[in-house]
Every structure is written in C-alpha cells, then in structure tokens.
Structure 1
Amino acid sequence: MKVETRSIEYIPAEERHGKARDLFPIWFGANMHITTLVTGALPIALGLNLFWSLAAIILGTLLGAIFMASHSAQGPQLGIPQMIQSRAQFGVIGAIFPLFLVMFVYLGFFASSGLLAAQTLSSLTSIDQTWSIVFLNVLCFIATIYGYNLIHKMQKLLSWTSFLIYLVATFIVFQLPLPSGSWTMGNLDLPVFLLAVSMVATWQLAYAPYVADYSRYLPVSTPASQTFWYSYAGTSIGTIWMMTLGATLTIAIPNFLDHSGGNLAHLFGSFAIIMFLIIIFGQLAINVFNLYGAFMATITTIEPFIKLKVTPKVRIGMIFSVTVVGTGLCLLGQSNFLAFFLNFIFFISYFLIPWTSINLVDYYLLRRGRYNVKDIFDLNGQYGKINWIACIAFLVSILAEIPFINTSFYVGPIAKAFEGADIAWVIGLVVPAVLYYFPMKKKLNNEKCAEDKIERVI
C-alpha cells in the first residue's frame, strides 16, 4: 500500500479510477458506527416517543442527504477536494473563512467519535480511557497517512462486516421489551419534532465539506446521477439503520447512553467481543475520515500564502499536528460527552448550511459545473482573492439564523415564539440562496458581456 501523493491539487485523467458504485460502501460504512447510533438517541432525549423519533430520523435523513449527495456529484467533474472548490464562490482568500469554521467541524467530530471509541475499548480491556484515546488516535494517524485508497478499502471491509453484525444486533434489539406508548401516534410535540428533524438533517449536512473528496478520483465520464444516487443510498440506509437502533436501545435499556458501546456489545452475551471489535473498527474508520478532512482543510487554508509542496514528510507532519489538536479536544471532552456532542452538532449547523446553499446554487444554477480549475489555485485568476457577494451572503445568512436557533446556551426569540422549534436550517438554505443567486447572476452576465465585446473588437 502506497502513501497517497496527491492532496488538494487536481487529479489528472490518467490517475482516475473506480466506479460510482464504490461510493455506496464508503457512505454506508461511514454511518455504521456508534456515533451515528448515539445521534439517533437524541430525539428520545428531547422527549419524543419511538414512533415520532423514527419519523424525524427518516425525514431528516432523506432531506439532508439530498444536499450531501449533490456535493458528492461534483467530485468526478472537478477532480479537486470539496472545500478548495469553494474558492470559485468565495475567492481564493475569501474561502478561508468557511474553511476555518469547517476545520472545527472535523475536529469536533474527531473528538466526539474518539471519545466513544475510547469508552468502548476501556469497557473491553483494562486500559484507562485517556490511554485508550491516545492509542486509537495513533492508529487513525497511521491510516490517514496512506490516504484515499486505504480509506476506500477500509470502508468496503467495514460495510460488509458491519452489515452482518448489525443485522444480528437488529434482530436482538427488536426482541427487547419497550415501554407502553412507544409506538403511539398521538400527542406529537411539533416544535420538538422539528428540532429533531433539524438535528438529523444536520448530520447529513456535516458530510458536505468533504463528501467530494471521496469521489474526486472517479473518471470524468462518471455520470453525475450515479454519483448522486450511490452516495445518497449509502448514507441514507446506513444513517436510518443506526439511528433507529440508537433510539430503540435508549428506551429499551435504562441509562444506555452512559456506556453505549459496552451496553450494545453485551447484548451479544458470550459473543460480545465481536461487537466490541466492530464498534472500535467503525469509530476508527470514521475518525480517519475526520482526520483526512482536517488535513485537506489545513492545506487549503495555508496554500494561498505558502506554495507548499506536500511531500511525504510534510504530509506526515501536518497530519500529526492535526491529530495532536484533535486528541487534546478529545481529552477535554471526557467529562460530559452527551452535552458536549449535542451542543456541538447544533452549533456547527449554523455555519455549514449557508455554505452548502451558496456552493450548490453556484454549481448547479449559475455556472452549471463549468469551472476553470487552474484559476481556483491562482490568486490573480478569474475568481479573485475575495468574492464579497458570497462572503456577505454567508455572514448575513448566519445572522439571519440567530433568531431561529435553539441550543442549550441560547434560544432565539422566534424559536421561543415557536415553542422551541428550530427551523434555522431552513433559513440557512433559503436566505443565502437568494442573496447569492441574483447579484452573482448579474455579475456573471456583466462579465460575459464584457468578454463578448472584446471578442467583437478582436
């Protein structure tokens, strides 16, 4: 297995390989882990019964995955990582602002997933949780060095093994007795339901900044529809399955979330070791995703200022630095994981969603996938240093979301008026789409007219 030599640069045609169907195990496996399962417990923690929790999980997943898969379809066409493509919307320097925020996303998920993996390893062995965190993060560091091809192989192995093991787990879980009223349709608390849908949709939207990183090596001829649907199906099936288990286990087993990995594994009785191993493998795999994404975001952030050649030594050094930061966050978050994760997943949504909206409007409605990749790497290219239209739309959209948000540390006035319903994610999609589309369309039309005049003169 060779260390990946590419980082943020364009993947030339002769290095392209694979098929769109390879994306199904990538995104199915990316959700078949204990962090997804714990996220499925959050609607129950908010007060919904099992029926309405599952309805929120399904609706939130199917909606959020549309945007996630739409980003994935960009990879084969452009052949570059997702976040560096943001330079076409925000400008080469302007793209650093959303990039900086996205780095917190990677590091936050790295910390939360690492905590769950460490809890599971500590339940299986006598290793202290702190040392479990360090040990597992070292393994993630080593795997991330090898990069794209190893990640694809890991995900294929994880997809098949987790499918078989969780199939057995599903059978066991649905034999557990449930409290009365778990499946009743009455007494829906609509604001809480909308909050749960928002939370689950955010889970899918959190993949948006790096989803195209795993399709960028596919041949340019790969149909966009295939890239979309294989990504959509993989992430939707994996997410709904694991979150359903999480919601069910939370009401079936008292204090399940206190030691989610251990409680799940012990359902297998004398075969618990099998589930322990698949849980740890799943957490390692998703954290390699997070570490790889953080590395790519770091390179993209510093590249406009330092024309850095990513040699194997540079690659190892940067991945090591990101691993150290993520491990520090993981150690700090040990005391109260659920509160930490709940606050984090809400917080990131308000920054990710406007970026998603601007990127997709630009790609599908304005430029229709036609970009000059060379200029994306050029400070003096056609995309410029800063596109103020995108930057202002992004900032205004975040401000517009504030009255609608509902977090543990702040509830906006409109969210209060809606009895806690959080529809900030809808605002975060609609407002930037409008603020960006119309002035940017006018700007592009003016540029085209200027080019036409030059051609006529020539």
Structure 2
Amino acid sequence: MSSPPGSSSDDYTHHEKDVENNKAGIFVKEQAAGHAGNVTPTRDIIRARQIQSTVGPFRILSKGEQWLDRKLGIETQGIDRIPEEEKRPPSIWNVFLLWWGATCHIGTVPIGALGPTFGLPLGESIAAIVVGTWLGALCPAFCGTLGPKLGMRSIATSRYSFGFYGAKLCAVLSVIVAGGFGVVNLVITGQLLSAVSDYTMSVSVGIVIVTVVSYLVTVFGFRYVHTFLKYCWIISFILLLVLVGQAAPHAEASLPGFATGKAHAGLWLSMFSIAFSSTAGWASFSADYYCNYPAKTPSWKIFSLTLFGATTPIMFASVVGAVVANAAMLGQVEPWYTTYGTYGLGGLIRETYHPLGWSKFCLVMLTFSVLGNNVVIFYSSGLDLQLLGDYFHAVPRFIWSFCTAVVLAILAIAGKAHLSTIISNFVSMLGYWAICFTLILLIEDQFFRRRLGYNVEVWDTPSKLPWGLAAVFSLLAGYLGGGLQGMAQVWYMGEVARKFGPYGGDVGIYLTAAITLVVYPVTRYLELKFTGR
C-alpha cells in the first residue's frame, strides 16, 4: 500500500494503526467487476480523517457528528464509495416509490400551471407535459444505473468521464439545479401557509417553517430518507385528486390559446422544455439513492423503475396544475382569475378547494407534501458539496445540508413574488445541463468503458482518472453553443429561439444534445489516445 499524498511512510503507518485502533473504518475492501480486490485505503477518506483529527474546528464538527450518530443514529456516510460487503439495500420497490415521495407534491403543480399561463389550450399543455416528462425521465433513469454498478453517489460516478477536478464543476452545477427546485417548493408552500392564515402571515414565515421541518428529516440520512419517501406521497396524491376533481368542472379543453402561428409553436416548445427539465434535472441525484443496491442488480430494473416512478407522479401533478390554471387564466373564472393575479398559485388553490374550512385543511397538508422533495434536495446537495475538496469532505454532510437549506430559504424569500418567472426562466435551463451530463456519462459507459472497464479502486485518485478535458469541453460547447443560442427567456433570447415569433421558442435542449453527441466522442477519443486514461 502506498501512503497518501503529503504523508511520509512512517506517518502513514502510524495513522493506519491509529485508525484501526479507533475503529474509524476508513479502510474499505474494494471490489471491481465482481472480483474481490485488496484491502486498500482511499485517498479521500484518509485525507478527510486527517483534517478532522488535526484541525480544531473540523475536529469539533466530527465529534458532534459522532455524538449525533450515537444518540440519534444519523448517517455519517458521505461521498465515500460503498463496497459490496457494506451495502445495506432497501427493497427494490423503493426505487419506484421514492420518486412518488420526491415529486408527487404541490411543488410540481406550478410546472403544469405554466401552460395555460403561457396561453396554451389545455390539450396542448397536457401534450407538452406528457412528452417532455417522459423524455426527461430517461436522464435520471440511465444515470441511476451507475449507482449500484459502482457503489458511488451520482457526481462521484462522473469522475470516470469528467475526471477528478472536472467533477467539481458538476458538483457545483448539481447544487444549482437542486436550488432551482428548492426555491420553487419553498415559495409555493409559503404562499399556501399565508393563504391558510387569510394572508395575515407573510409568505416569508411560511418559507422558514417548511425549510426547518425539511432539514430535520434530512439529518438522519439514507435509510430514513428512503423510508420517509416511501410513504409521504400518499396524502398529497389523495388531496391532488380532490383538487383536480373540484377544478375540472370549471376547466374547458375547447378554450383557445392566446397565440397563433410561430408564436404558438414557440410557446409549446418552451412548455415542453420546462416539462423536460423538471424531470431531467434529477439526473445528477438519482444514483445517490441507489448506491447501496448490489452491483449485480439488473440495470434494466433500476432504469425501468426510475422511468415509471418519476414520470407517473410528475405527469399527474403537472396535469393537475394545468387544469386548475386553465380555468383561472383561459376561462377567467372568478374569483380564481383575480386571486391568481393577486396572491399567486397558493391563493388560487385556496379558492379551488371548497368549502373554506376544508380548503385550509388541504392547504396545511399540501404544505408539508413538499418535504419529500426538499429532503432529497438538501441531502444530495450536502453530498455534492463534499466533493469540492478535502476540507469540504471533512465537513459532515448534515452541515452542508444545513447551509443549503439556509441559502435556499433566503433566495425563496427574495423571489417570493416571482414564482412563475423563476420556473420559466430557471427550470427550463436545467435541462441543458442535465442532457449534457447524461449524454456524456452514457457515451462513456456504453462505448469507452466497454473496453476500459471501471477500476473502482481509483475513484479518488486524480492521476489514474481521465483528465476530464473532453467532458468539460463538451459540456461547455453544448451549453454555450447550443443552450445559449436556443434559450428563450425574459432576460435573454438566443438567435435560434427568435425564429419562433415574439415570445421565442426554447429549443436549447435539442441544440445542446446535438452538439454534445458530436463533440464528446471525438474529444474523448483524442484525450484517451494522447493521455492513455
């Protein structure tokens, strides 16, 4: 065994004995391609433990984490790879049910509501939701299959294409993606709690309440997150059925839209892009929840259960939003139309449920339906931030999750009056990143790694991982060359998007995918030829 960078052989030997004596468990039995390997230390774990044992503030945080683990049983496992013999998988059906807990909630409803808000007829809004959601779900479905195969979290798996340092860029982008979803969730639930109080309580207070409760669930880690997500969707599913049932009599599929010709086509493309992105954005999270499943778990099971588990609840909740907004925006049913303009979607939902007492009960229950989604966001963001460096890794995951929660609460409070703008301008852009990330991992896995294989023992060794230049260049080329030219936002409209009338049409996803598919195979071949890794 070799010593980690920056350590002498003697120091390393002493550290090895200290770790074994203290049962820190930093040595793991590596396993590649189903064959047991030698017991070897991993660089990331050793360096993180050294920082925790020698640097005062990190030592305090580490002891605090150990105390919480003893008292409450919180998860201390961070980004470290999980060997086969240490995996503790939940039921395979959790792969399906966790998506219901994460996406069947009131925070998904605003996505569908954008169709009628854009001026699209109900049928076309639903068509954009269905097609966009299905295609977008292919991204997390594939990326999730790498979790059991490698025993790693989502962003850690990207090191085999983006390299050790390029994966840090992926970690930052993944946190930004999570933030977009989180802000939407917090704003809509803040509106709901304000509506329950007859608008005497500010939206900001509601945001803080939901943030605190969501974070508390996140602290306990993988096993509790899986269990929570398995059941938390049931009440929200029932209440959303009631919501669409009470809204449906006022909705009219025959109501015409606001635009015609190219402008109409552009609005549909933009709605499709948002639906696609709302599902594809989970690509950089899905393997986080599958890394405890055995490597022998069939990839088709993970893929299929993720595909159907994600599409079904997202389509359902989005369609509910489209039906409610159709009556308010196109039908201009009063007081729905006025309330929507004054108090946002939270006020509209309050008016849709009736009578008032029942409505307030539903709003309270729906407020906490987003906990499952927020838990996933806070949990995965904490893991992603640990990948930014040794000192980041030395900070316990629950601390990073707390920082994420605080930042998202602040952003939600700042943007509480602009929910539709946040969704239309930000969520659609998530698809550009997600499609780049997925296609790069897909090409690497299905073409290059069929010959090279995955050496899981080097997952944290920069000198033995790819340089990552090909992946980073392809990501930037796809995002800047395709996404920038095809995006249609309030603040910027690309040259290609301008072709679709005055409102533009968001075609950034198509352009981004096309450029990535062309650039990555070529640049990765050249990288492999000249570097050998």
Q: Does TM-score exceed 0.5, indicating one fold? A: yes
Query: Does the 8 Å CA contact 1:41/1:243 hold for their aligned counterparts?
Result: yes
- 2:219 maps to what in 1? 145
Matched ranges for 1:313-352 at <5 A: 314-352=396-434
Pick from 166, 191, 196: which aligns with 1:119? 191
- Matched residue, 2:388: 301
Partner residue of 1:76 out of 148, 163, 176: 148
Counting only pairs closer than 5 Å after superposition, residues 58-137 of structure 1 correspond to structure 2 as 58-125=130-197, 126-137=200-211
Question: Contact 1:32 / 1:242 at 8 angstroms: preserved in 2?
Answer: yes
CA offset at residue 296 of structure 1?
A: 1.0
Q: Distance in 1 between matches of 2:194 and 2:128?
A: 32
* TM-fit CA distance, 1:300: 1.0
Match of 1:158 in 2: 232
Deviations 1:227-249 (A, max 9, x none): 11111111111111111111110
What's the counterpart of residue 6 of structure 1?
Answer: 77
CA gap of 1:145–1:177, structure 2 versus 1, over 3 A, is: closer
Larger radius of gyration between Structure 1 and Structure 2:
2
Offset at residue 182 of structure 1 (A)? 5.6
In structure 1, which of residues 185, 198, 206 is the aligned counterpart of residue 281 of structure 2?
A: 206
Select the residue among 100, 116, 130 that pairs with 1:44.
Answer: 116
Quote the Cα distance in structure 1 between the aligned partners of 2:495 and 2:344.
36
Match of 2:521 among 430, 434, 437: 437
| CA deviation map 1:144-165 (0-9, x unaligned) | 1112122212212123223333
String of CA shifts for 1:279-303, please: whole Å, max 9, x gaps: 1122222111111121111101123
> Over residues 371-399 of structure 1, what are the superposed CA-to-partner deviations in whole Å (9 max), with x where a residue is unaligned?
2223121122x214x42111111112222
Which of 14, 17, 20 is the aligned partner of 2:92? 20
Q: What SS does the corresponding residue of 1:161 show, helix, strand or coil?
A: helix
- Equivalent positions of 1:271-282 (< 5 A) are 271-282=358-369
**Cα deviation code 1:299-337 (max 9, x no counterpart):** 01123xx38445xxx334322222222222122112322
Amino acid in the other structure paired with 1:60: G
Provide the residue aligned with 1:396 in structure 2. 477
Moved over 4 A (4+): 442-448
Q: 1:277 to 1:11 in 2, by over 3 A?
A: farther
SS of 1:208 mapped into structure 2: helix
SS of equivalent to 1:11: coil
Distance 2:465 2:251 in 1: 59
Residue of 267, 271, 276 corresponding to 1:196: 271
Counterpart selection for 2:305 from 222, 227, 230: 230
Query: Which amino acid is 1:427 matched to?
Result: L
CA distance in 2, matches of 1:192, 1:99: 32
Quote the Cα distance in structure 2 between the aligned partners of 1:244 and 1:87: 37
**What amino acid does structure 2 have at the position aligned with 1:252?**
A
- Note the C-alpha offset of 1:263: 3.2
User: How far apart in 2 are the matches of 1:318 and 1:277?
Assistant: 28
Cα distance, 1:202 vs structure 2: 1.0
Give the aligned length: 441
Q: Give the deviation of 1:443 after TM superposition.
A: 4.7
- Displacement after TM superposition at 1:174 (Å): 2.2
**What is the CA–CA distance in structure 2 between the aligned matches of 1:213 and 1:86, rounded to whole Å?**
12
Greater shift after overlay, 242-251 or 72-81? 72-81
What corresponds to 2:457 in structure 1?
A: 374
Mapped to 1, the partners of 2:188 and 2:386 lie a distance apart of 28
Residue identity matched to 1:199? I
2: distance between equivalents of 1:65 and 1:318? Answer: 27
Give, as a single letter, the amino acid of the residue that structure 1 aligns with 2:162: F
- Structure 1 residues 259 and 190 mapped into 2: Cα distance closer, same or farther (>3 Å)? closer
Q: Is contact 1:19–1:218 with CA below 8 Å preserved after alignment?
A: no
Within 5 Å, give how 1:161-176 maps onto structure 2: 161-176=235-250
Equivalent in the alignment of 2:509: 425
1:55 to 108, 123, 127: 127
The change in CA–CA distance for 1:195 and 1:153 in structure 2 (over 3 A counts) is same
Distance between the aligned counterparts of 1:240 and 1:30, measured in 2?
Answer: 13
After superposition, the Cα gap between the structure-2 partners of 1:421 and 1:336, relative to the gap in structure 1 and judged at 3 Å, is closer
Determine if contact 2:229/2:372 at 8 Å carries over to the other structure.
Answer: yes
Q: Give the alignment's TM-score, normalised by structure 2.
A: 0.77
The answer to whether 1:289 aligns with 2:376 is yes
Deviation at 1:177, TM superposition (A): 4.4
Listed as ranges, the gaps of 5+ residues in structure 1 are 451-458
Return the TM-score normalized by structure 1.
Answer: 0.89
Alpha-carbon RMSD across the aligned residues, in angstroms, is 2.5
Structure 2 CA distance for aligned equivalents of residues 47 and 162 of structure 1? 27
Shift of 1:171: 2.7
Counterparts of 2:512 and 2:251, CA distance in 1: 40
Check the 8 A contact 2:244/2:323 in 1, yes or no.
no
Structure 2 CA distance for partners of 1:100 and 1:427, relative to 1, 3 Å: same
Change in Cα spacing, 1:11 to 1:182, as seen in structure 2 (3 Å) is farther
**Counterpart Cα distance in 1 of 2:284 and 2:382:** 13
**Aligned AA for 1:261?**
G
Q: Match of 2:208, as an amino acid?
A: V
Partner Cα separation in structure 2 for residue 199 and residue 307 of structure 1: 32
| Partner-residue secondary structure (3-state), 2:78 | coil
Deviations 1:332-351 (A, max 9, x none): 11232221232111333333
Q: Is 1:261 matched with 2:346?
A: yes
Report how far residue 274 of structure 1 moved: 4.0
Residues of 2 paired with 1:318 and 1:424: CA distance? 32
For residues 315 and 103 of structure 1, what CA distance do their matches in structure 2 show?
A: 14
Conserved in 1, the CA contact under 8 Å of 2:103 and 2:314? yes
One-letter amino acid matched to 1:392: F
Secondary structure at the aligned position of 1:367 is classed as helix
- Alpha-carbon offset, residue 256 of structure 1: 3.7
What is the deviation of 1:38? 0.5
CA–CA separation in structure 1 for the residues paired with 2:447 and 2:92 = 23
Q: Give the letter aligned to residue 272 of structure 2.
A: V
| 1:239-258 superposed matches below 5 A | 239-253=314-328, 254=337, 255-256=339-340, 258=343
> Structure 2: which amino acid aligns with 1:219?
P
Taking the aligned partners of 2:87 and 2:166, their CA distance within structure 1 comes to 30
